[in-house]
Amino acid sequence: MRALRTVAPILALSLLAPGLSGQAAPARIEIAQPSLSLQVGESAQIEARVLDANGNVVDAPLMYFARGARGRMDLGRTTGTVRAVYGGEYTVSVMVATARDIRADMTVTVAYPPIERVSIDPAAGGRFYVGAAARHGATVVDRAGDIRDEAIRWASSDESIATVDRFGVFTAHRPGRVTLTATAAGASGTVQYDVAPNPVTAMTLSASQEVGRTGDVIRFTASPRAGSAAVTDIPVTFGVLSYPVPEATADIAPAEIDQKGRFVAYEPGIYTVTATVPGHTAQHTVEIGSRLVSEEVSFVGQGAVRDVPTSDLWVWEGVDGRDYAITGTWGAFGAVYFWDVTDPASAVLTDSIVVDARTTNDVKVSEDGEVCVISREGASNRRNGIVILDCTDPRNIRIHSTFDDELTGGVHNLFIYQDHVYAVNNGVRFDVINIEDPTNPHRVGRFELDTPGHAIHDVWIVDGIAYTSNWGDGVAVIDVGGGDRGGSPANPVLMHRFADVGGATHAAFPYRSPTGKFYIFMGDEIGRPGFNDLDADRTPPRMAGYIHVVDFTDPNNPEEVARYEVPEAGSHNMWIEDDRLYAAFYNGGTRVVDISGELKGNLALQGREIAHYMANDPDSFVPNAPFSWGPQLFKGNLFIAEHHSGLWSIKLQPRRVLIP
């Protein structure tokens, strides 16, 4: 292996914060106030100091965290400023930035404002029909404009005309005018209905296809009529009668259908879908077979990195026509490795460098294959930022420049697009850095959400649109030159934002399906912080979280329609190409999933998994402990960054069928 070349000196005490040499080591944190009580909108400053074992003040940087408070409280992670956004009680942890096992906790209590209004959905009211039923929802909003989780009481003004149950299901019994009321904490909302006789005389039901496979979305259309006229405003209730194959287990429902008529089966079999309006039912039967998409996986090769954890990867064709890969490192000494993978079965280390950092988390290469940019975190001088490399010759990597202006808090992820680097700055915003002249980088723009407690983890750009992963704020879609909002690298403009159902968005990948659907895949990351915080038996942490599939075809009305979940593991990075999702699931290995056709429901239960690979290495940083970090498909081979063992490559092949 070629010796590592150092770009900046590595100090013997580089893991300690600068300015601590000659001082006693931090021993504890003293917080001036054990608790704070605030009203929504009020701000305060947490006063804390670091002491050594003798009670003397130590000059050490502090970090401030509040688990579960994202979007509910603005907390300066390095300043300790607090602004109350949402009522509740929160625990704030204060840690020494260079020794996070030294911690002190305090409580911040934010009083809930009074309730201002209750809104009912659907809110239009108007005509309703005898015998029909529809469920209503209610949203409770306080004076600060925040949505509150409060108990709802439902009531009908005349139960002889219509009744409502405790779930908001409204059922009409006879013609007349009636008011539906939802009450919470002294505030109420109302909707008025005019109940009319049911006009339906007949109904038919049709399906978009008669035969399908598990996971196929079949659309059912109900057509109620009054004589020859269509009745379009009567609620239709869909149901399904299942006749699954005998092999189907009973741990999940074999099929589902929603009230938009979208049906999907999880097991092969015969299914009869019913559509009902008062006094009339129609049915239609379809046949569902197995999906049969699994393929065989074969190991191709490994570029082993066994002494330090590996972070992200990027694979590209070099200017010389050969294929190369770059891998970063995590929580170590700032190393980056370059590989010749023209023959993936025999990856060859071509060069390596060391920068002043603990983590080089992200690595990207420009579209022309000439410039590589790496991110830096944990620099000994606290000036992190990015390093711009000349990779025209991956056997002789040279430094073009570094850029750390206003990026000192650390760059965790980045993306290169059309001679600009989009760098995630201290987990709060992204900065846009022009590298048309890579020896003279300069900032031209930046983008930051304005939501309470906002954060950003990743950015991905396709066709001039940036997709950022913003934890509790979900995904933001930003025009940086390819949208309709006049955006540019110097003027990024927010187009849309979507927060997935209960998610913690860590990575987002857009995909335009051949069906015409446009999906954004949003991956959670939920788990114990500190990937190298191994148990005594060196068992890596079990992660959680899944991939949310959001239909963004109508960007003004995005809808979360499906998920891909591995119960024993959590998602990390992903790659999508040619109707296949390649997903890293940490301790769950790398998964390959068929995402062809329209998507709905739990994809993991529909026979869509094509392959599953666990990269076991008995000599790795943590022996025989796959911890998949990120995949990339390149020229028919799937390259994988494995956190404990380096760069891997595998290949998928159709399963061989033995003919008797």
The structural domains of the chain, ordered by start, are 5-111 (2.60.40.60), 115-196 (2.60.40.1080), 202-289 (2.60.40.10), 295-654 (2.130.10.10)
* Dist CA 387 CA 433 (whole Å): 12
pLDDT value at residue 144:
85
pLDDT tens digits along 589-624:
999 999 999 999 999 999 999 999 999 999 998 899
pLDDT tens digits along 514-559:
999 999 999 999 875 454 455 545 566 778 999 999 999 999 999 9
> What is the CB neighbour count within 10 angstroms for residue 147?
11
First-to-last alpha carbon distance for the chain, in angstroms, is: 50
pLDDT value at residue 621:
86
* Dist CA 649 CA 480 (whole Å): 34
* Dist CA 606 CA 549 (whole Å): 15
**DSSP three-state, residue 33:** coil
The pTM score is: 0.87
Average pLDDT of span 172-179: 98
Exposure of 187 by Cβ count < 10 A (0-12 exposed, 13-18 middle, 19+ buried)? middle
Q: Are 404 and 387 a contacting pair, CB within 8 Å?
A: no
Token pair 């840690």 is at which residue?
Answer: 95
The secondary structure of residue 488, as a DSSP letter, is B
Percent of the chain with pLDDT strictly greater than 70 = 92
Query: What count of Cα atoms within 13 Å lies in the side-chain half-sphere of residue 94?
Result: 26
Exposure of 53 by Cβ count < 10 A (0-12 exposed, 13-18 middle, 19+ buried)? exposed
Say whether pLDDT at 17 is over 80: no
Give me the DSSP letters along 285-309.
EEEEE-----EEEEEEEEEE--SS-
Exposure of 534 by Cβ count < 10 A (0-12 exposed, 13-18 middle, 19+ buried)? middle
User: Of 401 and 659, which is predicted with more confidence?
Assistant: 401
pLDDT value at residue 503:
78
